Structure 1
Amino acid sequence: MIFPLSIVSLLGLVCLALLASPFPYLAPGAVLGLVGVALLYRKPTWGLLGIAAILPFEGLFKDNAFSGSKFLGASLVLILMLQLAIRQLPSERLHSNIWRFLIGFMALYLLSLINTDNMGMSLGHLRELSVGLILFVITLLIGRELNLDIFARLVALSVSVTCVMAIFSAKYQDAGRASGLLKDPNNFALMIAFAVPMALLLVIRSPNLWHRLFWGGCTLLLLGGMTKTESRSGLVVLFLSLMIGAWHYRAHLGRLRPRHLGFAMLGLAILVPVGLYSMPAGYVERIQSLSILSSGAKSQDPSLGRRASYIVVGGGMIAENPLLGTGPGTFPLHYATTGYAKAFSITGKTEDLYRRAHNTYLEIFSELGVPAGLMFVGMLGLGFYNLMRARRAWMLRRNWQEADVLTHLSMSFLALMLFLMFLSAPNHKYLWIMLALTSVLRTKAEEAPLPEARA
């Protein structure tokens, strides 16, 4: 423990120096920082849980150079590097089958960066992506000790709080659409779709009625927040993930009794009219536009027109540069030079011409090339496969509680994967945390002993 003692001594000297400086009021902050670092050193998973809980509130610190999540991330990096150096953490924890795709993806990423059409935009993209890569490594190192129940509680509760803020305050809305603290309704809808399966898990696993009512209320807040975002993609993704969850629990249908069916009918009779009444008229119109598309008729929805233009521009970029693309983060540069940018401009300002693809897969294929795009898709597909294998391993061991947890985590991860088709978010923190967690959970499940066969 010589190294931690050295850090304590260093921070003590910093406190003394601050007391003697013109800024003595900063000394208590250094003391609190010392206490925080000491706690993180003993419980690094608290830092990861803190990042997951703070993420929905990051909009509050967007203009700050040093926010809470940055402090936690930087502290975790230093602590884990120290623990690896003194062999307090085994380096074997870094082993993951995700690396086979991630290394290839990053090699192609760097080649595309060298041949980019705009180095400034590409370096900005690399800086954002590096945050996700750091979280990936952090989760690999400490994911084994992560309490999944607490993780689910923090995610569900923090997103629910932002839903309350967005539903009841116009300050957290964008043109009437709930955007939370993220200033983007679709990004907010992604977080809600990610949190709903976890909230449902807490409802199912609640030890008593009061806990069940509390988490059920959080679930209703999340569904209300999703409605308020008016996100069609969010509605589709949430519906698909919930259908998968319902399929997992199909074996429980045999436990239902006629009285249960009566209560279910009564609940639907109350919730459906209330839901339809509370649903914004604009959201109904946006959903109806999807049925118009399926019938082959023309739609006057500018949002759908913009998304169609992204596909046209992205397809042209892929055709011109199929191997290495045009460079990370350069899709807005190419889109701004087309007639679509002016035709679908919302404000008419110059900066509004530079729009992202609103489709992570399209963006990666067009900016980094087809090989890198396949590596990225393979990486996410392997992550989902890891969760399925982990769930199967727990079922073989007759650990139904862990299997249920894996089902709901799979629903959340699937929601992220599907939502990437409607949002440009290759650096999303939840995505990289979950990607590393899939490998950790599979390894942990397969290493658990099998139950002994009965004689």
Structure 2
Amino acid sequence: MIVPLSIISLLGLACLALLASPYPFLAPGAVLGLVGVAVLYRKPGWGLLGIAALVPFEGLFKDNAFSGTKFFGLALALILMLQLAVHQIPATRLRSNIWRPLIGFMLLYGLSMLLTENMDLSMTHFRELSVGLILFGITLLIGRELNLDMFCRLVTLSVTATCVLAMFSAKYQDQGRASGLLEDPNAFALLIAFTVPLALLLIVRGPYLLYRLFWGGCLVLLLGGMTKTESRSGLVVLLLSLIIGLYHYRAQLPRIRPRHLGFAMLGLALMVPLAVAVLPAGYVARIQSLSILSAGANAHKDESLGRRASYIVVGSQMIRENPVLGAGPGTFPLHYAPTGYAKAFSANRKLGDLYRRAHNTYLEIFSEIGIPGGLMFVGMLGLGLYNLMHARQLWLQRRDWAQADLLTHLGMSFLSLTLFLMFLSAPNHKLLWIMLALTSVLRYEAEQGAPRETQP
């Protein structure tokens, strides 16, 4: 108890200092911080749950120097370092097969920074990426105590809440497209695509009808939010992940009786026309525009597809010019802005329209860090997917269907993240690094053969 007492003493001194300062009204905040740190010291997994649940609400704190996620992150980092120092947490928990490609990626990242074309942009990029790296280490240390059922519930509820806000308030829309509390509708669609498999898991595991109906309602709101984003990439990723989920449950098909099939066909006959009728006309037009891909992206027919094609052209040129170490982290906008594409696709010639990111994490990494660094990054994500597949197979061999279902749905969510990175620049996404570390934790538990206990 020496460590928590020292923290209490420091925060007590901070309260006294605030009371004696010109800002005594901040003292209650220090008291709340004291209580929060004490709780996190005993239950660090709650802090990680808080970070995951607050990801959809980060837009509320974008202009603040301090936010809920920052508090949880800093508090957890401090607490876990102290617990490691006094051996309350074994350092062996940091073991992961993802460290090798991650260390290789960071070494190449550092070399690329040394030769970068713009150190300010590279340092900003590194600060953003460092948040994900810290979360990776935190999740490795406390992932074994993480209540995954609660993780699914909190993430589903938080994303569903932002879907409700986005669907029924123009304040949370961007030119008619739902963006929630985020700036980009595609970033919001990523969260929804990540959450839908978790909501499905809660429905499948529902112990009684009302429980399933509640999470079924959340699923409907999530799907409504996805249509409101008008994200074509979100729809494609969501359909792919759902197909994988159906493949997992194929063994249950013999349980379907002819009368069940009849009800299912009747439901589809009613739902499909209803879905087409309620879909926004703009979303239907955007989906139909995908048909022009067979003839190549034409900016005159679809400006969005033409803009994405221009990112590929510029990124490919950057890779040819600097194939080994790239142009430097965060420098893609510097190469895109002087091109004719930036001027052609800019509506108002503002800096934000001219200096655009690649909207493709893989393209951005390969062009800014180089081909070796890009391969390391892809290798990390591929290894994470393999960890989940391997763990799922082990539980299937032990005929533990509940654990196998859990791994399947988490794998669907992680796959949604990795696929969505092809349509969004988000190498520092918090859920990406949490899930990446969690794949190692879940594989370790499967190899040890000890299923985590389901907590209420």
Normalized against structure 1, the TM-score is what? Answer: 0.97
Residue 279 of structure 2: aligned partner: 279
Query: What amino acid is the match of 2:66?
Result: F
Deviation readout 1:405-432 (Å, 9 max, x if unpaired): 0000000010011000010000000100
Residues 245 and 4 (structure 1), Cα distance of their counterparts in 2 relative to 1, 3 Å cut = same
Q: Once superposed, what is the RMSD of the aligned Cα atoms?
A: 1.2
Native 8 Å contact 2:395 2:403 kept in 1:
yes
Deviation readout 1:277-326 (Å, 9 max, x if unpaired): 11111111111111122255846100000000000000000000000000
Task: Work out the CA distance in 1 between the residues paired with 2:265 and 2:381.
Answer: 39
Q: Match of 2:259, SS?
A: helix
1:42-441 correspondence to structure 2 within 5 Å: 42-295=42-295, 298=298, 300-441=301-442
Deviation readout 1:360-414 (Å, 9 max, x if unpaired): 0000000000000000001100000000011011112221101000000000010
Q: Match of 1:102, SS?
A: helix
Q: Match of 1:325, SS?
A: coil
Native 8 Å contact 1:18 1:24 kept in 2:
yes
Task: Work out the CA distance in 2 between the residues paired with 1:174 and 1:180.
Answer: 9
Q: Match of 2:221, SS?
A: helix
Percent of matched pairs sharing the same residue: 76
Q: Match of 2:76, SS?
A: helix
**Number of aligned pairs?**
450
Residues 73 and 284 (structure 1), Cα distance of their counterparts in 2 relative to 1, 3 Å cut = same
Q: Match of 1:427, SS?
A: coil
Deviates further, 171-180 or 10-19:
10-19
Instruction: Extract unaligned runs of 5+ from structure 1.
Output: 451-455
Query: What amino acid is the match of 2:233?
Result: S
Query: What amino acid is the match of 2:222?
Result: L
Residues 27 and 232 (structure 1), Cα distance of their counterparts in 2 relative to 1, 3 Å cut = same
Deviation readout 1:153-191 (Å, 9 max, x if unpaired): 111111011000001100000000000000110000000
Deviates further, 99-108 or 275-284:
275-284
Deviation at 1:8, TM superposition (A): 1.0
Residues 184 and 296 (structure 1), Cα distance of their counterparts in 2 relative to 1, 3 Å cut = closer
Residue 31 of structure 1: aligned partner: 31
Q: Match of 2:428, SS?
A: coil
Deviation readout 1:190-222 (Å, 9 max, x if unpaired): 000000000000011011110100100111111
Residue 453 of structure 1: aligned partner: none
Deviation at 1:449, TM superposition (A): 6.0
Task: Work out the CA distance in 2 between the residues paired with 1:333 and 1:110.
Answer: 19
Residues 386 and 144 (structure 1), Cα distance of their counterparts in 2 relative to 1, 3 Å cut = same
Q: Match of 1:249, SS?
A: helix
Native 8 Å contact 2:45 2:146 kept in 1:
yes
Q: Match of 1:64, SS?
A: coil
Query: What amino acid is the match of 1:395?
Result: L
Native 8 Å contact 2:343 2:354 kept in 1:
yes
Deviates further, 255-264 or 379-388:
255-264
Deviation at 1:262, TM superposition (A): 2.5
Query: What amino acid is the match of 1:218?
Result: C
Query: What amino acid is the match of 2:287?
Result: I
Native 8 Å contact 2:316 2:367 kept in 1:
yes
Q: Match of 2:317, SS?
A: helix
Q: Match of 1:206, SS?
A: coil
Deviation readout 1:120-154 (Å, 9 max, x if unpaired): 10000000000000000000000011111000111
Q: Match of 1:294, SS?
A: helix
Q: Match of 1:97, SS?
A: coil
Instruction: Extract unaligned runs of 5+ from structure 2.
Output: 452-456
Normalized against structure 2, the TM-score is what? Answer: 0.97
Task: Work out the CA distance in 1 between the residues paired with 2:223 and 2:61.
Answer: 26
Task: Work out the CA distance in 1 between the residues paired with 2:235 and 2:161.
Answer: 20
Native 8 Å contact 1:397 1:449 kept in 2:
no
Residues 323 and 297 (structure 1), Cα distance of their counterparts in 2 relative to 1, 3 Å cut = closer
Query: What amino acid is the match of 1:362?
Result: L
